[in-house]
Structure 1
Amino acid sequence: MTKVEIFDPALCCPTGVCGPSVDPELTRVASSVFFIEKKGLDIKRYNLGTEPGMFVKNKTVNQLLHEKGTEALPLVMVNGEVAKIGEYPTNAEFK
């Protein structure tokens, strides 16, 4: 089974609806992740602000953060390999 991990920058919430204005990109990603989870597929999101240990624990993510700083985020890994740096998957890529 494919395992997808999304390492988000520090966010107040992953849905994009918690700030003074709605972030449509975060809303799109949150919806996509929700539907993928409902299908029983293995997808996880980690927030730098609330789960920094996951960023330290993953050696690849840790190294990219040291090299590129937070510009590396969001970072998407598929089966332990880097798939995207600095942007979320498109809807087509989520499919």
Structure 2
Amino acid sequence: FLIASPILFLMGASLVYFFFTPMVMWFFLAMQQVGTNDQVQISLLPKVSEYLSLIMTLIFSFGLVFQLPVVTSLLTRVGLLSSQALAEK
């Protein structure tokens, strides 16, 4: 468990950093509207603190979600969870 836990957390963090972050940034940039004289212009005004907060929240969340196999294994080993209970759900 000591080896699997940090590896799984890093896998979740890497997924966010290399896959979801570019998609999120593309989405926010696509929300910009470059207007002409008769249209309203919507421009992105990013803040470093908001960017870091979003990315760190996503990394932490995905890292925790990737810990579910470790938690499931521990609960099974302790006896609080059985393979039959997992198969039924």
Q: TM-score range by the shorter chain?
A: under 0.3
Q: Considering Cα pairs closer than 8 Å and 6+ residues apart, tell me whether 1 or 2 has the greater RCO.
A: 2
> If each structure's helix is expressed as a fraction of its own residues, which one has the higher value?
2
TM-score relative to the length of structure 2: 0.25
Instruction: Kindly name which structure, 1 or 2, has the bigger radius of gyration based on alpha carbons.
Output: 2
TM-score after normalising by structure 1: 0.24
More strand by share: 1
